[in-house]
Amino acid sequence: MSLPIYLIGARGCGKTTVGLALSQALAYAFSDTDYFLQQTTQQTVAEIVAAEGWEGFRRRETQALMAVTAPSTVIATGGGMVLAEENRRFMREHGRVVYLKADPEVLASRLEAYPEEDQRPTLTGRPIADEMVEVLAQRDRLYQQAAHHVINAMQTPEQVVQTLLQTLSLARAS
């Protein structure tokens, strides 16, 4: 059995899309912490945040991370997973952490093209392009700190998966 692979990055970077494709390419299981949370609570992220606040949601997010961690699994994490030092340390110690990095403009255009308001409450209440600049300014250092590998996520999902397969096989060889 191989270590789990955690995909981290801002929302819109492709964690779920790339994660599904990568899990198929590696014949791994796939898990998404936000989806796991929604299934186990029967609530959307927005509903959890409304009922418990961001602090309650973040607590549940940590529990979800630990619950879905298993060998030979690709795990797409919520964009804010890296905010808790406990989560960054847990991922680094239990698997390979990959930061899918993209510019805020790219993330904003993706989120505008595929809006999921019921799932993804705004963090700042500002337009998505402004929010992505602000969120990345706050979190990029945390993503970098948590990651074993940083991958350019501004390519097609297929290209990102190919880059990841090469990077991960080189990492295993060394």
Residue 11 annotated as binding?
no
Under DSSP, the state recorded for 174 is: -
Known binding residue 41? Answer is no
First to last CA, the chain: 18
Judge whether 32 is annotated as a binding position. Answer: yes
Task: List the one residue out of 105, 112, 82, 98 whose CA is nearest residue 154.
Answer: 105
120 is in an annotated binding site: yes
Is 19 marked as a binding-site residue? Answer: no
CB distance 19 to 98 below 8 Å: no
User: Is 103 a known ligand-binding residue?
Assistant: no
15 marked as part of a ligand binding site = yes
What is the torsional sign of CA 13, 18, 19, 22? negative
Determine if residue 139 is labeled as part of a ligand binding site. yes
Cβ contact 36:67 at 8 Å = yes
Q: Is 140 annotated as a binding residue?
A: no
Binding residue ranges for ATP: 12-17, 120, 155
Binding residue ranges for Mg(2+): 16, 32
Binding residue ranges for substrate: 34, 58, 79, 139
Binding residue ranges: 12-17, 32, 34, 58, 79, 120, 139, 155
